[in-house]
A and B are shown apart, each in its own frame.
Chain A
Amino acid sequence: MIKLEDYIPIVGQSVIDDLRLIAARLKDKKIQNINSTSVGGGVAEILTRMTPLLQELGVDARWDLIKGGEQFFGVTKKFHNALHGHPAELSKKDFEVFLETGQRNIDELETAADIVFVHDPQPITLVKKKNNNRWIWRCHIDVSAPDEKVWNFLMDYIVRYDAAVFSAPSFSRRLPIRQFLISPSIDPLSDKNKELPEAVINKVLEKYQIPQDKPILTQISRFDRLKDPLGVIEAYQEVKKHIDCRLILAGGGASDDPEGAMIFAQVMEKAKGDKDMHILLLPQNDIEINALQRASTVIIQKSIREGFGLTVAEALWKAKPVVASNVGGIPLQVTHKYSGLLCHSIDGAAFAIKQLLNSPAYALRLGENGKEHIRNNFLITRHLRNYLLLFLSLYHQEDVVYL
Chain B
Amino acid sequence: MNKAKEPFKFYTRLHLTELTGLRATTLNQLVSLIKQVPGSSIYHHTHRFLQQHQFLSPEPPNDFAYWVSEVLGEKELGERLASIDITHFKRIHDLRLRIISVLEEYLGQERFAQLKFSREGEEFHFLKSVSFVIPTDYLVDNLADFAEVLKKITFDSIYFHIFEARLRLEKETNDFSNWIEHSLGDKVLADELGALDPYTRTLEDLRVAMINVIEKRMFNR
Contacts and interface: CB of A to CB of B under 8 A. Distances in A.
B121 A144 contact: yes
A389 B14 contact: yes
Contacts of B156: 18
Given A170-B125, A178-B18, A336-B70, A400 B56 contact: no
Chain A, interface residues (CB within 8 Å), range: 35 or more
A193 B19 CA distance: 30
B53 A335 contact: yes
A328 B121 CA distance: 7
Given A22-B132, A399-B129, A400-B131, A373 B55 contact: yes
A173 B20 CA distance: 8
A372 interface: yes
B52 A369 contact: no
Contacts of A369: 55-56
A172 B132 contact: no
A390 B14 CA distance: 11
A389 B131 CA distance: 9
B172 interface: no
A401 B125 contact: no
Given A399-B131, A401-B133, A403-B134, A14 B54 contact: no
Contacts of B123: 170
A140 to B, nearest CB: 15
B98 to A, nearest CB: 21
B105 to A, nearest CB: 27
A372 B56 CA distance: 10
Nearest to A169: B125
Tier of interface size on chain B: 35 or more
Interface in B36-87: 38, 40, 52-56, 70
A181 interface: yes
Interface string B143-179: 0000000000010100000000000110000000000
A399 B154 contact: no
A172 B16 contact: no
Contacts of A180: 16-19
Contact of B52 (A166, A377, A386): A377
Contacts of A331: 122
A400 B18 contact: no
A292 interface: no
A386 B55 CA distance: 22
Given A14-B154, A22-B134, A369-B56, A399 B121 contact: no
Interface in A342-374: 369, 372-373
Contacts of B132: 22, 389, 392, 401, 403
A331 B55 CA distance: 17
Contact of B16 (A14, A15, A390): A390
B103 interface: no
B104 to A, nearest CB: 25
Given A392-B132, A399-B40, A399-B130, A326 B122 contact: yes
A338 interface: yes
Nearest to A344: B119
Most buried by B among A172, A180, A392: A172
Nearest to B168: A400
A175 interface: yes
Contacts of B168: 400
A272 interface: no
B133 A335 contact: no
A338 B56 contact: yes
Nearest to A178: B18
B139 interface: no
A160 to B, nearest CB: 18
Interface in B7-49: 12, 14-23, 38, 40
Given A14-B154, A403-B133, A372 B14 contact: no
Interface of B: 12, 14-23, 38, 40, 52-56, 70, 121-123, 125, 127-134, 154, 156, 168-169
Q: Which A-B residue pairs are the 6 nearest by beta carbons?
A: A169-B125, A174-B21, A172-B19, A181-B17, A399-B40, A14-B154
11 contacts: A18-B156, A21-B134, A169-B23, A180-B16, A181-B18, A326-B122, A338-B53, A386-B16, A389-B16, A400-B130, A401-B132
